[in-house]
Structure 1
Amino acid sequence: MAVIEKSKTPKTKTPKTTFPTGPKKSKKSKIRKVTKSTSTKKENSNSPKKRNGKKCILYGIPIFIIFALVAALIVVFTLGNVNFGKDKEEVKEVDKKEVEVCKTPECIILAHHLHNWNDDSVDPCKDFFKYSCGKYNEHNTVEYSQMSKKTEILKGLIKEFLKKNESSSSKTENTMKHLFRTCEESKDESIKDKIEKERIEVIKQEAMNIGWPLADPTWRESSFDLAELLEQIPTILDGERNEIGYGIFNIWTPSARKIFIGTTTESFTDFGTVKRNILQVLGKDAPSNLDNIVKEINEFSKELRAIHASIPLSDDPNQKYSNNFEEINDALPVFDYLIKSLLSKGSRSWGKVKNKIYGYNSFLSKIEKIRDLVYKDKRITANYLVYKYVSNLLRFTPGYVECHQVVIDNLPLPSLRVFIRNHFDKGALKDVDNLVEDIRSSFIEMLEKSEWIREKTRIGAIRKAKAMKKTISYPPELEKPGALDKHFNIQLDPSDSYYLTMRKIDKASMNLLMDYVSSDFPMGPHFTLSSNAVYSYFGNSINIYAPLMDDPLFHSSFPNYAKIAGIGIIIGHEIGHGYDIFGINFDENGIFKPWFDAADQKEYENKAACLTNQYNNYDDHSFGKKLNGTFTVKEMMADELGQDVAWRTFKKLDLSQEKKIIGFEDDSIEKLYFQIGATTWCSPRSPLTLQQQLMRSHPTYSFRVNGLFANEKAFAETFNCPAGSPMNPVKKCTMF
C-alpha cells in the first residue's frame, strides 16, 4: 500500500535526499535509504487535506475502471460484435461459418486462376472477358481455352504411360504399348527403310489376293463379285473414326445406335497422285498402259463426285434421313451382307440392326446411278476399288505425328480407360450425375414458366427433356476388369509391324461401331480422350466425358456454385442442343418428328435472329466486327439456354452453407459464379485466321463470355452495370 500511495500522491516539494559521495553503494543500502525517506513522508500525512486526497485515490480508481469498461462495451455493441442472445460456443460457430473457405489443392488452383488471370484494371461492365481473363496469357502457353489446355494435359499423361512400358494384364493396354513401340521403330532412321520395304510388299500382296486387274493379266470379268470385293476393302476414315469407307459409298454411326448410308466423300481425281501411289506399290510390275488406267480411275472418281453433287444437301430432314433401307438394299443388294460381316455376332445380331439403317440425303435415287456406273465396266470398277483400298493402306505410316498421338487417335477408348483408371477421381461421378439431374430439372422449370410457347410446344419440349438419356464418363459395364478386352478383341503377334497392327486396330474398330448399333457394345465412337461433352440429335442423349469432370474445370471438393459455374453451364448447353434450330426437328427418341407448334415458329426464329445479329455486330478482340452468326447460331442458342438453366440451378442453393474461395471471402458468391463461368473460356488472342474462324460452328471465346452474360439480367444486377453499357444492353437476347 505504501508503494501505491507513493506513486499516486500529488507531488510536493520535499527535502532532496542526498547520498554521500564516494564509492558506489550496494543495492541493499540504496533500498534502505528509500524506505527511510518514505517513512518520514508518512509522518506528515495526518492533515485533513492529506486524508481527503487519500480517499479520492481509493474511490476514484475503481470508479474510473467501471466507466472505462462501460465505454468499451458501448463501443463493441455499437460495432455489432456482440451477440447477446448466444453463448460463447454459438458465437464462435457463427464466426467460423462466415470465414469458412475451401482449402483443397483443387480449390487453391481455382483461386489461383481467379486471382492471377483477372485484370481488375478493366471495368467488368465494359468487357467481362478481359476483366476475368486479361492476364491469362501471362500464366499459360496453350493457344486455346482451358478445355483445350486440359486435353493437352491428357496427352501428356498418356505419353508418360506409354513411355513407362510397364507390364499389364490388360490386352488393350498392351495393344496401346505395342502400337507405340512399333510407331517409334518406324521412325528409327537405322531401320526405317527396311520397315517401309516390308510394308509395301505386304500391301502389294494384299492387293493381288483381292484381285487387282491392272496387276493381274489373268483377271476376268466373270470373277467379279461386288459384295465379296467390297467386304475385303472397308477402311475407317480419318476424323471421328465413326465412318467406314467402301469407295463407292460410306456408312457411319451418328453418335447414336443408328447407321446412315450415303455417297462417298473420298476422291481420287489427281492423276499424278494416283500414278505415284500405284508405282510405289507395284514398282517394276506396273503395267505398260498405266497412264490409261490412271485416267480411267480418275474419270470413275469424277463420276462418283457428280452423283454425290447431283442432289444438293437438303434442309428438309425428310430428305436428309430416309427410313427406306429395304428399297436401298433392293436397288444394290450388298448392304445387308456387308453390315452382317462387320457385326461380331454376324446374323445373330442382324435383327437388332436392320430397323436402324437410314439413307442419307436422297441416297435411294443416287444408289441407282452408282449401280449403273459400277456395272458399266467391271474391270475399271475393280481397278478403282482396289486402288481406293491401297491408297488408304498407304496412309498407315506415322509420318510427322508423335507416336503417343497416334495411339490416342486410333485407340481412343483404351486411352480414355487408362486416364480413368490412373488419374480420375471417381468421386466426381455421383456429383456430376446429380448435377445433370439438377440442370434437367431447371430446364423443365424454364419450359413450364415460358410465357410465349404454346401448350403443344411446351408438352413436346418437356417430354423430350425428361426422356433425354445420359452417359457419365464411362459405361459401368466397362468398369469390370477385362470388359474392354473382351470387346476390343485384337490378336497381336509380338512381331507384328506398325502397319499390321494398324490394320488389326482398324478391323476391330469397325466391329465395335456396328456392335454399338446392335447394343452388343455399350460405348459409341463419340467417346474420345478430350475435355468435352456432346449431345446426340439422333439418340437424344448427352455424354459427359471424364476429363471434363476433372481439375481445373471440376472437382468433387468444389463448392456447389463453382461446380454449376464450371460445368453446369456446359451440361445445360448440351441439353440445349436438343432445342436449337436443328434439334427441334427430332423427338424424344431421336426420330425426325417435329413437336414444335407451327404458331410458335415465327417467335422462335426471331429469337434465333436476335442472337445472330448480336454476334454479327460484336466487336471481337481478335476479329473485330467481321463475324457471321449464321454459322454459329446453334451453338449460341445452346449457350444461352445453358446459362439460363445453370443460373436457375444456382439460385436454388443455400449460399450460407457454401464455402468461399481463398482470397474472395469478402466477395459475393454471385460475382464468383460469373467469374468462374468466364474462366472456362479464358484464352489468349486467337491463333486462327478470320477465314478459319468463319468456318467454325462455335462463336469466339470472348463472345461466349461477353455475349452470353450481357444477355443475363442477373449479371448486370450483380455488378451494378449501368443500363446501356456493353454488359447491360437495352435489348437482350433470350430463348424460352
Structure 2
Amino acid sequence: MFGIPMRQMSGQRYKRTNFDDDDTISNGGTPPAVDFHPGIVFKGGLTLWQRKTTLEKALIILLILLAISLIVIAAILAVRESQLQDLRKGTDYCMTPECVTVASSIITTMDRSADPCKDFFQYACGGWIKSHPIPSGHSRWGTFSVLWQENQLVMKNVIEKVSVKTRSNAERKAQDYFVSCMDKNKTVEALGAQPLLDILRGLGGWGISNKSGTWQQNAWNLQTAVEKVHMIDVSPLFNMWVGGNDRNSSSNILLVDQSGLGLPERDYYLNKSITEDKVLSGYLEYMTTLGMLLGAEDRNATRDDMIKVIEFETKIAEITIPAKDRRDEEKNYHKMRIVDMQKQFPFLNWLQYFNSMMSVVNITLKSSEEVVVYAPKFLKNLKAILSNAKSSDDGKNTLNNYLMWSVVKSLAPYLSKPFREAKKTFTQVMTGVTGNEEMWRYCITDTDVVLGFALGSMFVKEAFHGASKAEKMIDEVKMAFKKNLPNLHWMDDETRRAAIDKANAVVDMIGFPEYILNVTRLDKQYQRLQINKSEYFMNNFRNLRFALVKNLEKLRKPPKKNAWGMTPPTVNAYYTPTKNEIVFPAGILQAPFYDQNFPKSLNFGAMGVVMGHELTHGFDDQGREYDKFGNLRPWWNNQSIEKFKQRTQCMIKQYSQYKLNGEAVRGEQTLGENIADNGGLKSAYYAYEDWVSKKGEEVALPAVGLSHRQLFFMGFAQVWCSSSTKEADHLQIVSDPHSPAKYRVIGTLSNSKEFAREYKCPVGSPMNPKEKCVVW
C-alpha cells in the first residue's frame, strides 16, 4: 500500500476491526416473518430442524460449510487478481529486479520494533547490526567495509589474470607487487629481519642491536641522524613536505608541521602510567619484542631503553597542539624564511636540512626561501626538549633510539611472520581486532596503496561503466545548495553572492582520472618505481623514496589541476580547499550508494548526501576561509562570520552531548564533518524534491511501506550501518574528525525539520528536538 500512515512507522501497529462470526442483529425479540434460521418454531411444537433425520442434518451442515468455503475462495481469488492487475499495470509498485532487491535489503537491514522518532539509527540499522557480526581481522564493520570487500574481489580477479596482453608496464608492476606481498615462495620468511637490519646499519646503527651495526655515541649527531631518517620518508620530530600555498593556490611551497608520536594521538600518552595503562604497556611490549627480533640480547635492558623512548614521546605529546585547536586555518598559517626559522627554532641547521632533502631532486635553496610553518609554538617547545636530551650521553642514546624506532615501526610490517604477529598483538590492544584478514585481501589493499592508479586502471576497465547520471546529480545538488542560500537570513547579501560564485566554481571530479586509460601516461607515472616479485620489503622501501621524490620535485612547479588524491577503487570522497575540488572515486559510485536503476529517493539519500557533504565542506568552519580560487583570505563580511560562529557553537554543543561507551564525542574536533553532514542532507533532500517536481512521484517499493521521501532518509541512514569494538570507538573519538556513525545519523536527522515532518515525530521527541542546529 502506498503511503502508510506514520503511526505504523512510530512503532504502533494497525489493528484490524475483527467481527465475530456469530454476531446477531436484535429487533426486540420479534423474528422476521420468513427466515431460514434454524431456531424458528412451527405449529405443532417441533422445529423444522428437529424433524430432520441425522443423515439429513449432516448433509445440510456439509452443504453450508461448502458454500462458505466457496465464498471465501472466490473472495481471495478476486483480491489476488486485483493485486496482480495492479502489478501488471505497474501503477502501485516498482517490480523491477533492482527494486525488489533493494526493497528486500531495506527490510532486512531495519529493526521495525524500534521507534524511528526515538532512535532512527536503531530503526534503520538494527537488523543489519544483528546479522553482521564483526568478521575476523576487523575492528570495525559496516556498509563501507562490505562494498570495499566487493571491490577487493574485482581487483583480485583482474590482477590474477595471467596474460601477456596486459596493456601497460604499470599494470604489470601492480601484478608483481601483489605477487611479492602474497610471498608464495616464502622469500620474506627466508630473509627474516635482515632487510631492516641493513637499513638501520646505513642509518648509523641502533644502539639496542649490535646486528644493526655499531652505534657510535661520540660520533653521533642529531642533524645528520634527522636528515638520514627523513630522507627515507619517515618523519620523527616534525613533518616536512611540498604542497599548495594556502594563500596563493597557483604555487607550491615548503610546508612544516608538528609530528613525532608513535601512537595515533596525544591523549594516549597524557596522564598515563606506562606499566599500568593498557595501550602504553602494550606499546612497550611491542617495542621490546621488535627490539629482540632485531637482535637485542637482553630483554630487560631493551625494555628499559624503550620506556625511555615512550617517556620522550610523552614529552612530545605534551607540546603537541590538539586537533580542536587547529581548525582555524588563518591562525595556523605562518609564512617565514628559512633564516627566520633558524632564529626561532635553532635546534637544527635548517638551511642544511632543507638542502639535504632537496638534493634528491637537484634543487638548491637559499636562506631567503619561504616556508609555511603550521605549528611554530610546537617547534619552539621542541627546541627545549631536544636541548635537554642532547646535554647527556643517556639523552643522546634515547634520541637515537627514538629516531631508529620510528624507522623500525614504519618498516617492520613488511618483514617475516614474527614481526607481523607482534604487530597483530599490538593492534588488538589498540583496536580490539581479533583474528586475521585473508592474506589476499591484505595484499590487494596494500597494492592499492602503492600502485593504486595502475590497479585502478584494471578495476575501472572491469567494473566501471560511466558516470554521466552521477554528474547530473551533482549539478542538481549544487543547484539546491545555491537555491537555499537566500533563505539564510544570517548571511549578508555580499557574502551570499560570493558563496554562490564559489559554489559555481567548484570543480567536479568523478570516477577516475582519464590518464590511467592512456598506457604512455600511466607508465610514465610509475616509471621510476622499481618492483620485483621476490622483494616485498625492498619494494616498499623503494616506494617510500619514490613518493618522497615525487613530492619534493613539485616545489618549483605550479600545483597540478585535477590531480587525484584517492585511487579509483576507494570507497570514499573528498574536498580540496586549495583547489575547490570535490572528488568521487568509482569505488563509491556503486550500490548501496548509487545505482542508476534504483529509485531516485535512495540515490539522492545515499550518494546525493555524499555529494552535498563534500560540497558543504567548501563552506564549513575551515573550507569557508578559502575563496573560489582556493586562496586562504577573508572574503566574508565580519557580521556574517560572527553569526556563522554562533551557529557552529550550537552544533559543537549538540554533538558534545553524545556519548559512545560513556565517552563524549568531541564537538569541536568533529565540527567540520558535522557541518558537512547536515548541509549535505539538506541540499540532497531539496535536490530530490526538485527532481520530483519535474519528473513526478516515483512508484512505491514493494513491502517496505515507506513513502519515497521517507526512503530518502532511510537511504541516508543505512549507508552508516556499522558495528565496532570499544577500542576502535575510543580511537575514533580521540583521533577522527568524523563523529561515530550512529551520531552521524541521529545528529543530522534530529536537525532536519523535513525528516521530522515525513516521519511525523512529535516536537520534543529525541529525533525532533525543539531546538535545532542549522548552519547551511
The Cα shift of 1:549 comes to 0.6
Deviation track 1:311-353 (CA, whole Å, cap 9, x = no partner) reads 846555445221224445766103542553455xx549x99xx
Q: How does 1:418-433 map to 2 (within 5 A)?
A: 418-419=455-456, 421-422=458-459, 426-433=464-471
The match for 2:449 among 394, 401, 412 is 412
The verdict on how the C-alpha distance between 1:419 and 1:276 changes in structure 2, with shifts beyond 3 A counting, is: closer
CA 1:301–1:138 in structure 2 vs 1: closer, same or farther (change >3 Å)? closer
Matches within 5 A, 1:552-591: 552-591=592-631
Paired residues for 1:658-697 under 5 Å:
659-660=698-699, 662-663=701-702, 668-683=707-722, 691-692=730-731, 694-695=733-734, 696-697=736-737
Alpha-carbon contact 1:144-1:683 (below 8 Å) kept: yes
Deviations 1:629-661 (A, max 9, x none): 344333222211111111221121135456546
Contact 2:182 2:443 in 1 (8 A): no
User: Within 1, Cα distance between the matches of 2:541 and 2:749?
Assistant: 49
- Offset at 1:410? 5.7
Distance 1:599 1:386, change over 3 A: same
Give the aligned partner of residue 89 of structure 1.
none
In structure 2, relative to structure 1, the CA distance for the partners of 1:607 and 1:474 (3 Å cut) is: same
Aligned to 1:544, the other structure's residue is in SS state: strand
Deviation at 1:625, TM superposition (A): 9.5
Matches of 2:725 and 2:287 in 1, distance apart?
A: 37
Tell me, in whole angstroms, the C-alpha distance in 1 between the residues paired with 2:520 and 2:108. 44
* Contact 1:428 1:549 (C-alpha < 8 Å) held by counterparts: no
RMSD: 4.8
Deviation at 1:677, TM superposition (A): 2.1
Aligned in 2, Cα 1:383/1:676: closer, same or farther, shift over 3 Å? closer
Question: 1:337 aligned to 2:326?
Answer: no
The structure-2 alpha-carbon separation of the partners of 1:680 and 1:204, relative to structure 1 and needing over 3 Å to count, comes to: closer
Tell me the residue number matched to 1:594: 634
Fraction of identical pairs, as percent: 19
Question: 1: distance between equivalents of 2:663 and 2:197?
Answer: 56
2:120 to 128, 131, 140: 128
In 2, the alpha carbon distance for the partners of 1:536 and 1:372 equals: 38
Whether 2:96 is the aligned partner of 1:103: answer: yes
Residues 486-505 of structure 1 correspond to what in structure 2 (within 5 A)?
486-490=524-528, 492=530, 494=532, 496-505=534-543
- 2:468 counterpart of 1:473: no
Distance 1:701 1:382, change over 3 A: closer
SS at match of 1:180: helix
Tell me if structure 1 keeps the 8 A contact 2:103–2:704: no
- From the superposition, tell whether residues 515 and 663 of structure 1 become closer, same or farther in structure 2 (CA, over 3 Å): farther
Match of 1:177 among 166, 175, 178: 175
Aligned residue number for residue 141 of structure 2: 144
Q: How much does 1:548 deviate?
A: 1.1
2:257 partner SS:
strand
AA of the residue aligned to 2:96? K
**Is the contact between residue 125 and residue 727 of structure 1 (CA under 8 Å) also seen in structure 2?**
yes
1:453 aligns with 2:446: no
1:707 partnered with 2:707: no
Give unmatched runs, 5+ long, in structure 2: 1-81, 135-139, 246-251, 264-273, 275-282, 344-349, 422-435
Q: Distance in 1 between matches of 2:699 and 2:253?
A: 46
- For residues 658-690 of structure 1, the C-alpha deviation after alignment (integer angstroms, 9 at most, x for no partner) is 654641698533222222222222335875576
Q: What displacement does 1:207 show?
A: 4.0
1:154 to 151, 154, 175: 151
Residues 127-184 of structure 1 show CA distances to partners (whole Å, capped at 9, x for unaligned) of 4333333322355445533123212332343344455555534333333333333333
* 1:324 lines up with 2:317 in the alignment: no
What is the 5 A alignment of 1:70-85? none
Alpha-carbon displacement from aligned partner over 1:85-123 (angstroms, at most 9, x marks no partner): xxxxxxx99995745837254x44322222322344444
- Report the 3-state secondary structure (helix = DSSP H, G, I; strand = E; otherwise coil) of the residue aligned with 1:530: coil
Contact 2:567 2:585 in 1 (8 A): yes
Q: What secondary structure sits across from 2:720 in the alignment?
A: coil
Partners of 2:746 and 2:101 in 1: CA distance? 24
Kindly tell me the number of residue pairs found equivalent between the two proteins: 621
Paired AA for residue 414 in structure 2: F
**Which has the larger displacement, 114-123 or 502-511?**
114-123
1:632-647 superposed matches below 5 A: 632-647=670-685
**Equivalent-residue separation in structure 2 for 1:491 and 1:318 (angstroms):** 37
Instruction: Single out whichever of 478-487 and 392-401 deviates more from structure 2.
Output: 392-401
Instruction: Determine the structure 2 residue equivalent to 1:48.
Output: none
The CA deviation string for residues 215-252 of structure 1, in whole angstroms up to 9 with x for no partner, is 4699996x97957x76653367xxxxxxx434443224
Contact map agreement 1:300 1:384 (CA 8 A) in 2: yes
2:110 to 101, 109, 118: 118
Secondary structure of residue in 2 paired with 1:136: helix
Q: Which has the larger radius of gyration?
A: 1
Q: Distance in 1 between matches of 2:523 and 2:130?
A: 44
Contact 2:319 2:382 in 1 (8 A): no
Secondary structure of the equivalent of 1:134? helix
Structure-2 separation of matches of 1:245 and 1:709: 42
- Alignment of 1:251 with 2:244, yes or no, is no
Look up the equivalent residue of 2:120 and give its one-letter code: F
The alignment partner of 2:239 has SS state of strand
1:111·1:661 contact (CA, 8 Å) conserved in 2?
Answer: no
Q: Which amino acid aligns with 2:230?
A: P
Contact in 1 for aligned 2:494/2:637 (Cα 8 Å):
yes
What's the counterpart of residue 719 of structure 1?
759
Deviation at residue 507 of structure 1 after TM alignment: 1.9
Contact 1:540–1:578 (Cα < 8 Å) also in 2: yes
What residue in structure 2 maps to residue 43 of structure 1? none
Q: Aligned in 2, Cα 1:479/1:511: closer, same or farther, shift over 3 Å?
A: farther
Match of 2:775 in 1: 735
Check if 1:397 corresponds to 2:394: no
CA shift at 1:408, angstroms? 2.1
> Alignment partner of 1:729: what SS?
coil
Alpha-carbon distance in 1 for matches of 2:175, 2:542: 15
Task: Write the distance in 2 (CA, Å) between the matches of 1:216 and 1:411.
Answer: 37
How far does residue 450 in structure 1 lie from its aligned partner after superposition?
A: 1.3
Deviation at 1:575, TM superposition (A): 1.9
Question: Does the 8 Å CA contact 2:720/2:741 hold for their aligned counterparts?
Answer: yes
**Structure 1 length-normalised TM:** 0.69
**SS of the residue aligned with 1:552?**
coil
Alpha-carbon deviations, 1:251-280, whole Å to 9, x = none? Answer: 246799665212441569999988986776
Shift of 1:554: 0.6
Q: Aligned AA for 1:334?
A: Q
Letter in 2 for 1:101: C
SS where residue 652 of structure 1 aligns?
A: helix
Partner of 2:649: 609
Equivalent-residue separation in structure 1 for 2:657 and 2:205 (angstroms)? 60
CA contact (8 A) 1:428 1:555 kept: no
- Shift in alpha-carbon separation, 1:509–1:445, aligned structure 2, 3 A: same
Q: 1:194 to 1:132 in 2, by over 3 A?
A: closer
Look up the equivalent residue of 1:561 and give its one-letter code: S
Secondary structure of 2:480 counterpart: helix
CA drift of 1:395 comes to 4.5
State the Cα deviation string for residues 404-454 of structure 1 (Å, max 9, x = none). 424523642634653563466544422222222222222222223311212
Aligned to 2:614, the other structure's residue is in SS state: helix
Q: Contact 1:234–1:389 (CA<8 Å) still a contact in 2?
A: no
Report the Cα distance in structure 2 between the residues aligned to 1:280 and 1:533, rounded to whole angstroms.
Answer: 40
1:554 is paired with a residue whose SS is coil
Q: Which sits farther off after the overlay, 402-411 or 648-657?
A: 402-411
Q: Answer whether contact 1:575 1:642 (CA < 8 A) is retained.
A: yes
C-alpha contact 1:535 1:577 (8 A) present in aligned 2: yes
Q: Which amino acid aligns with 1:233?
A: V
Letter in 2 for 1:103: T
Q: Is the CA contact 1:711–1:734 (under 8 Å) kept in the aligned structure 2? A: yes
1:505 and 1:304 map into 2 onto residues whose CA distance is 27
